[in-house]
Structure 1
Amino acid sequence: MRASKQLYIYTILLLGLFSLQATSPRGLKFQGGEKPIAERTSYNVFENKSVTFSDSFDIDFDLFLYPTQQIGYICRIKNSENNTIFNIFYDSQGADITFRLNEEGKNSLIIARLNKKEFLNAKWFNMKLTFDLNNDSIHFDINNQLHSVGDIGLPDTYHPQILFGKSDYIIDVPSFAIKDLSVGNEKRYYFKLNENEGNIVHNSKGKALGMVSNPVWLINDSYHWKYITSFNSTSVAGANYNPKKDEIYYFNRDSIHIYNVRTEERKVVAFEEQCPVPLKLGTNFIDEKNGQLYTYEVFIESNDTTPTVASLDLSSFKWNLKSRQELPIQLHHHGSFSNPESGDYTIFGGFGNMFYNKNFYTYSIKNQKWQTMEGLTGDFLSPRYFQSVGYLEETNSAYIFGGMGNESGEQIVGRKYYYDFYKLDINSREITKLWSIPWENENMVPVRGMVILNDSSFYTLCYPEHYTESYLRLYQFSMKDGSYQILGDSIPIYSDRITTNANLYYDSNHEKLFVLVQEFEDDIASELKVYSLTFPPIKQENLTDYKSTLNSGLYPFIILLAVMAIVLIAYFIVMQKSAKSKTQFKDHPAGRNSHKTTASVTPKPNAIYLFGDFAVHDRSNKDITYMFSAKLKEMFCLILCYSNTGGITSRNLSNELWPDKTSDKVKNLRGVTINNLRKALDELDGIELIYDKGCFKIVCTDEFYCDYTRCLELISAKEPGENALELLELVSRGKFLLLADDPIYDSFKQEVENKLEPSLLLEMENAYNSEAYQLTIGFSEVIFKIDPLNEIALTFQIKALQKLKMYDEAKLRYNTYTLEYKKVMGSSYTNPNKIMI
Structure 2
Amino acid sequence: MMKFLLALFTLIISFSTLYADHGIHFKSNEVAKENRTGVDITHKNNISYENSFTIAFMLSLRETDTHYGEILSLKEENGKNLIQVTFREPDLYVIHNKKETKFHCNFNTLHLLKNRWIPFQLKIDSEKGEISLTLGVNHFQNSIRFPKKSEFSLSLGVVNKYGFFIDEVPSMSIKDLAIHIDGSKKYLWPFRKDTDDELKDILSKKTAKLYNPDWVIDYHNRWSKIKTLSFPSLPSMAYDKKNELIYFSLQNGVTYTYSIKTSTIITNSKNSGYPVFEKSQQLIVDNNNQLVSYSFNQNNISTYDLEDHSWSHKDSVTDNLPKWWHHNKLIHPISQQITTLCGYGYYSYSNVIKSFNPKTNVWNELHLNGDAMQPRYCSSLGFSAENSNVAYLFGGMGNSLGKQILGKEFYYDLYRIDFEKNEIKKMWELEQNDQFQYLPVNSLKVTEKDSAFYTLVFPCQKSSTHLKVAKAFINDPKLYFIGDSIPYEFIDIKSFADLYYCESENKLIALTSQESNSEAETYEVSLYSISYEPGSNVESDLNTGSFSLFRKIFYFFLASILLFLLIFVLRKAKIKNEKIQKPAILTIPDKIVSFKIPQVNSILLFGGFQVFDKKGRDITYRFSPTLKELFLLILLYSLEDGKGISSRRIQEYLWPDKPESKAKNNRGVNIKKLRGIIEDIQGIEITFDNNYWKIKLEENVFCDLASIQTSMKSNISHTNEEKIEEIIQILHKGTLLRDIAPEWLDSIKDKTTGTIVSTLEELLNKHEFEPFIRLSISNVIFEFDQMNETALRVKCNLLSMQGKHSLAMETYESYIKLYMKLYNEKYQFSFKEIIAEHTTA
TM norm structure 2: 0.56
Pair 1:424–1:86, CA change in 2 (3 A): closer
Alignment partners' CA distance in 2, 1:464 and 1:25: 27
- For 2:198 and 2:295, how far apart are their aligned partners in 1? 55
CA contact (8 A) 2:279 2:321 kept: no
Q: Does residue 353 of the first structure (1) align with residue 325 of the second (2)? A: no
Q: Tell me if 1:458 matches 2:453.
A: yes
1:539 offset after TM fit, Å?
2.9
Matched, 1:488 2:483: yes
* Aligned partner letter, 1:74: I
Cα deviation, 1:670-726, whole Å, max 9, x if unaligned, reads xxxxxxxxxxxxxxxxxxxxxxxxxxxxxxxxxxxxxxxxxxxxxxxxxxxxxxxxx
2: CA distance, partners of 1:136 / 1:41: 33
In structure 1, the residue matched to 2:6 is: none
After superposition, residues 407-422 of structure 1 pair within 5 angstroms as 407-422=400-415
Give 3-state SS (helix, strand or coil) of 1:359's partner: strand
Provide the residue aligned with 2:22 in structure 1. Answer: 26
1:268 paired residue number:
266
Structure 2 equivalent of residue 362 of structure 1 = 355
Q: Which of 467, 470, 474 is matched with 1:475 structurally?
A: 470
Cα distance in structure 2, aligned partners of 1:529 and 1:248? 12
Q: Could you report, residue by residue, the CA deviation over 1:534-593 in whole angstroms, capped at 9, with x for unpaired residues?
A: 33333357999xx99x999999993577649999xxxxxxxxxxxxxxxxxxxxxxxxxx
Q: Secondary structure at the match of 2:239?
A: strand
Q: Which residue of 2 aligns with 1:558?
A: 565
Whole-Å separation in 2 of the counterparts to 1:48 and 1:447: 51
Match in the other structure for 1:309:
301
2:152 pairs with 1:154: no
Q: Does the residue aligned with 1:373 lie in a helix, a strand or coil?
A: strand
Question: Residue type of the partner of 2:500?
Answer: Y
Does the 8 A contact of 2:328 with 2:343 survive in 1? yes
Find the aligned partners of 1:60 and 1:237 in 2 and give their Cα distance: 49
Q: Structure 1 residues 554 and 109, CA, compared in 2 at 3 Å: closer, same or farther?
A: farther
Note the 1:372-411 alignment, pairs <5 A.
372-392=364-384, 394=387, 396-411=389-404
Please list the CA deviations of residues 168-190 of structure 1 after superposition, one character each: whole Å capped at 9, or x if unmatched.
Answer: 23102221112232222323222
- In 2, the alpha carbon distance for the partners of 1:466 and 1:353 equals 22
**Mapped partners of 2:338, 2:209: distance in 1:** 53
Displacement after TM superposition at 1:278 (Å): 5.5
CA gap of 1:148–1:395, structure 2 versus 1, over 3 A, is: closer
1:140 aligns with 2:137: no
Distance in 2 separating the partners of 1:466 and 1:387: 17
SS at match of 1:483: strand
Report whether the alignment pairs 1:442 with 2:436. yes
Runs of 4+ residues over 6 Å off in structure 1 = 19-22, 322-328, 541-544, 550-557, 564-567
Mapped partners of 1:251, 1:340: distance in 2? 25
Q: Which moved more, 1:184-193 or 1:378-387?
A: 378-387
Distance 1:38-1:81 versus aligned 2 partners, 3 A rule: same
Over residues 366-421 of structure 1, what are the superposed CA-to-partner deviations in whole Å (9 max), with x where a residue is unaligned?
64845232434555433322222334363844443332223443334433333344
CA contact (8 A) 2:337 2:356 kept: yes
SS in 2 for 1:220: helix
Q: Secondary structure at the match of 1:52?
A: strand
Q: Deviations over 1:225-250 (max 9, x none)?
A: 23222222112212333332233333
Aligned to 2:119: 126
Root-mean-square deviation (CA, aligned residues, Å) is: 4.1
CA, structure 1 residues 218+410, in 2 after alignment: closer, same or farther (shift >3 Å)?
same
Judge conservation of contact 2:56–2:122 (CA < 8 Å) in 1: yes
Partners of 1:468 and 1:494 within 8 A in 2? yes
* Helix, strand or coil at the partner of 1:279: coil
Between the aligned partners of 1:527 and 1:470, the Cα distance in structure 2 is 16
Shift of 1:217: 1.4
| Inter-partner Cα distance in structure 2 for 1:136 and 1:23 | 41
Deviation at residue 341 of structure 1 after TM alignment? 5.4
2 CA distance for matches of 1:426 and 1:199?
A: 54
Tell me what 2:108 maps to.
Answer: 116
Q: 1:540 to 1:374 in 2, by over 3 A?
A: closer
* Alignment-derived partner of residue 536 in structure 2: 539
Residue number in structure 2 paired with 1:320:
312
Q: State the 1:123 CA deviation.
A: 2.2
Is the counterpart of residue 334 in structure 1 residue 304 in structure 2? no
**Amino acid corresponding to residue 229 of structure 1 in structure 2:** K
Query: Which of the residues 172, 188, 201 maps onto 1:176?
Result: 172
Q: Structure 1 residue aligned with 2:527, among 527, 530, 544?
A: 530
Q: 5+ residue gaps in structure 2?
A: 1-14, 540-549, 575-841
Deviation, 1:43, is 0.6
CA 1:328–1:363: 2 relative to 1, 3 Å: farther
Instruction: Tell me how far apart the structure 2 counterparts of residues 463 and 298 of structure 1 sit (CA, whole Å).
Output: 28
Q: 1:37 aligns with which of 33, 40, 43?
A: 33
Counterpart of 1:212 (choices 210, 213, 226) is 210
Which residue of structure 2 aligns with residue 759 of structure 1?
none
The letter of the residue matching 2:432 is: P
Q: Work out the CA distance in 2 between the residues paired with 1:183 and 1:107.
A: 24
Match 1:234 to one of 232, 235, 241:
232
- Residue 30 of structure 2 aligns to a residue whose secondary structure is coil
Q: 1:76 to 1:353 in 2, by over 3 A?
A: same
Q: Could you say if the C-alpha distance between residues 470 and 37 of structure 1 is closer, same or farther in structure 2, counting changes exceeding 3 Å? A: same
Count of matched residue positions in the alignment of Structure 1 and Structure 2: 533
Shift of 1:64: 1.6
Measure the CA separation in 1 of the matches of 2:86 and 2:124.
17
Q: How far is 1:87 from its partner?
A: 1.2
- Corresponding residue of 1:502: 497
**Counterpart Cα distance in 2 of 1:275 and 1:212:** 59
CA 1:294–1:139: 2 relative to 1, 3 Å = same
Q: Secondary structure at the match of 1:458?
A: strand
Instruction: Return closer, same or farther for 1:81/1:176 CA change in 2, 3 Å cut-off.
Output: same
Question: Are the structure 2 counterparts of residues 154 and 400 from structure 1 closer, same or farther at C-alpha, using a change threshold of 3 Å?
Answer: closer
Amino acid at match of 2:397: M
Of residues 163-172 and 194-203 in structure 1, the stretch that sits farther from structure 2 once superposed is: 194-203
Partner of residue 87, structure 1 = 84
- Once the two structures are superposed, residues 172-220 of structure 1 have per-residue CA deviations (whole angstroms, 9 ceiling, x without a partner) of 2221112232222323222222335543333243835212111121122
Q: Could you report, residue by residue, the CA deviation over 1:241-289 in whole angstroms, capped at 9, with x for unpaired residues? A: 333223333343555444444x444131423425612534262454463
| Matched-pair contact (CA < 8 Å) for 1:193–1:202 | no
Q: What's the counterpart of residue 107 of structure 1? A: 99
Q: Residue 489 and residue 556 in structure 1: after superposition, are their counterparts in 2 closer, same or farther (change >3 A)?
A: same
Q: 1:512 aligns with which of 507, 511, 531?
A: 507
Counterpart-to-counterpart distance in 1, 2:314 and 2:470: 37
Q: Match of 2:237, as an amino acid? A: A
Contact 1:461 1:475 in 2 (8 A): yes
Distance in 2 (alpha carbons) for counterparts of 1:173 and 1:211 = 17
**Secondary structure class of the residue paired with 2:85:** strand
Residues in 1 aligned to 2:427 and 2:315: alpha-carbon distance in whole angstroms: 36
Change (3 A) 1:538 1:140: closer
Gaps of 5+ in 1: 1-18, 568-837
2:186 pairs with 1:191 = no
**Contact preservation (8 Å) 1:98, 1:111:** no
Equivalent pair of 2:17/2:536 in contact (CA under 8 Å): no
CA distance in structure 1 between the partners assigned to 2:361 and 2:525 by the alignment: 30
